[in-house]
Structure 1
Amino acid sequence: MNMTYTAAQITDVLAGPEGPEFGKASPLGLLVVLLLLGGTIFLIWSMNKHIKRLPKNFDWDHPEDDQAADDGTDGDPRQQQSR
């Protein structure tokens, strides 16, 4: 296999693609971008909704209010497995 390249061949490779179809996007690309944007907006909206439900502060001495939204996920995981 001959690995010798001329300067013209290297210039052609570095110039990149050319032609009448280069740089054109299809409507499908726009649809994908809009779907990603819509998904991002939905995730931001959903996260803000969940953050607003959190208590203003977490009182470690009286955790009753915090445990209402906890679903039993705090504490040592080894203790929860032995139950």
Structure 2
Amino acid sequence: MTFTAMVAQPPPMPDDPGGRGEDFGKSSPVGLLVLLVFLVAVVFLARSMTKHLRRVPASFDPPAGKHEAPEKEVAPVEKPEEQKNGAS
């Protein structure tokens, strides 16, 4: 009587598994930390953006009663010759 045992084994790995080695698809604690830091940054950026957007007026059009901007008074500019003559 002859007895033959067959055992199931995974196929042998090729020399170059193409990046799909033993650790393929596993994340590390450093990756989780980076993800949490990005999440916290996004939360703070969203809060800041909301705060700034609340300060934006509903319309940038000028009010209906005012069509012209108020004129500013401009001081007269003295010429250099007048400054020399006036200082003497």
What TM-score results when the alignment is normalised by the length of structure 2?
A: 0.46
* Larger relative contact order, structure 1 or 2 (CA cutoff 8 Å, min sep 6): 1
Of structures 1 and 2, the larger Rg is shown by: 2
What TM-score results when the alignment is normalised by the length of structure 1?
A: 0.48
